[in-house]
A and B are shown apart, each in its own frame.
Chain A
Amino acid sequence: MAAAESYPEDLKYHREHDWARIAGDEATVGVTWFAQDSLGELVHFEAPEPGAAVSKDASYGEVESVKAVSDVIAPLSGEILEVNQAVVDAPELVNADPYGDGWLLRIRLSDPAEVEALLDLDAYKQLVAEA
């Protein structure tokens, strides 16, 4: 079942509808409620390998619904520590809980200063309102 629309306050957002939860020099990343709602029920997460590098604003994988496929964009640069295997096995977790069980990657940040370029909640909400 799809989650209700929400955008947690403790996250940082990327304008390509990705989020990051930052803890020290690590971050957990995923796609926002808006992204999963636009795509519909996800049926596939084409995931990268742990250990690979991701670059801010570049695609690191694909999420796919019955009707459409979309690149997922890294909100920050770093090294992949963990891929959420639960989402690889059951991509619908992203629809059910985009900010919790539906996280996609854990990364070690290579340039923590990049966080400054991300959107806060109000700025992201404004972006969604204009979409």
Chain B
Amino acid sequence: MQTLLRTPLHERHVAAGARMVPFAGWEMPVQYAGVIDEHLAVRRDCGVFDVSHMGQLHVEGPAAEELLQSLLSNDLSRIEDREAQYTLLTNDEGGIVDDLIVYRLERHHYLLVVNAGNREAAYAWLKEREIRGSDVRDASDEYTLLAVQGPRSIERLGLPEAKQFTHAMGEVDGLEVMVNRTGYTGERGCELMCPDEDAAALWDAVLARGAVPCGLGARDTLRLEVCYPLHGKDITPRTDAISAGLGWTCALEKKDFTGAEKLRRVKEEGPSRKLVAFVMEERAVPRAGMPILSADGSSAGEVTSGTHSPMLDRGIGLGYVLTESAAPGGELTIDVRGKDRRATVVPKPIYKPEEA
């Protein structure tokens, strides 16, 4: 049995009634009061997630931008200090090593927030490719990260308004925090980063301001409603950005980066499969791994993520299907443990928050 890592807030989670589960080598809260109540709190007001399990990599030095431009898919030169960007770390085949958000702290200093399960892989990938004038460092164990999400989150925290994908130093009840206007729910909100020694005080302050504690269960239903892909399920080192609908994160015209040539070819020829969003037309909950059939009953692909949408009160999912079955409005059949259940391809996102 593997020893699970714990965030500095473990005691707080247990005290708040969390059900703890193993996730990517960590012991994390999957739910407190209940997934649906937590989901609705984020859609209607404000919820807080401990996402300290995510990795934080620093890339510094006069050649930091050059290194990252050669390894990340998006055009880093488009962001300034205090700005952030969603981007992909790609492999030689154009597959996705990880998806991440890069924050430009200074001209020669970037922070990469990577998935917990890919922390080591992403760090090793970058470290092995360091060039003269660049240094890659893993700072994951030094910081706590809280995602505070929902239409009232900024107001509840008493923070000034700011644009999405920006960051600044700020203060919550006397605690100095890095305030990142990013998240994984599709709602207005931020991610607060502080040193581990302030974690408990920050958590208490955020709860006292009315945020509802939320676990990984709600994090998954929220991200799936807005069709944010989950690495390891919807995108992997064996899937490419074009097929996944993430071509907008790839600066294929502007620069070269690992795997760019392969991606250009997929884009030019058109992908054979596409990651589509679908909703169930019958009561059933699609799950990862279930076969997807096209209207004529032939195999069309496979579900990569599925759940019950609390906002739509029906089953929803993402899955790769043959391009000819990928157009919105198209009819699909999901094989739910041997029973055929009807579904329809819909445009992304499946659910659109009122204002983000």
A→B interface (CB under 8 Å): 2, 40-41, 43-44, 46, 62, 64-67, 69, 88
B→A interface (CB under 8 Å): 30-31, 34-36, 217, 221, 283-285, 287, 307-308, 310, 315, 337, 339
CA distance A44 to B339 in the complex (A): 14
CA distance A40 to B21 in the complex (A): 14
* Pairwise interchain contact B284-A44, C-beta atoms closer than 8 A: yes
CA distance A2 to B17 in the complex (A): 14
* Pairwise interchain contact B217-A66, C-beta atoms closer than 8 A: yes
In the bound complex, residues from chain A placing their C-beta under 8 Å from that of B217 are 40, 66-67
> Shortest Cβ distance from A44 into chain B, in angstroms?
6
* Pairwise interchain contact B285-A44, C-beta atoms closer than 8 A: yes
Residue of A nearest to B280 (CB): A44
* Pairwise interchain contact A66-B287, C-beta atoms closer than 8 A: no
Given known A66-B217, A67-B30, contact A41–B285 (CB-CB < 8 A): no
In the bound complex, residues from chain A placing their C-beta under 8 Å from that of B34 are 2, 40-41
* Pairwise interchain contact A43-B285, C-beta atoms closer than 8 A: yes
> Shortest Cβ distance from B221 into chain A, in angstroms?
6
* Pairwise interchain contact B283-A66, C-beta atoms closer than 8 A: no
The one of B30, B35, B315 that contacts A41, using a Cβ cutoff of 8 Å: B35
In the bound complex, residues from chain B placing their C-beta under 8 Å from that of A2 are 34
The one of A43, A46, A62, A88 that contacts B308, using a Cβ cutoff of 8 Å: A43
For the complex of A and B, the 10 pairs showing the least CB-CB separation, nearest first, are A43-B308, A66-B35, A41-B36, A64-B285, A41-B34, A66-B308, A67-B217, A44-B285, A44-B283, A66-B307
9 A-B contacts (beta carbon < 8 Å): A2-B34, A40-B34, A40-B217, A43-B36, A44-B308, A65-B35, A66-B308, A69-B287, A88-B283
In the bound complex, residues from chain A placing their C-beta under 8 Å from that of B283 are 44, 88
In the bound complex, residues from chain A placing their C-beta under 8 Å from that of B36 are 41, 43, 66
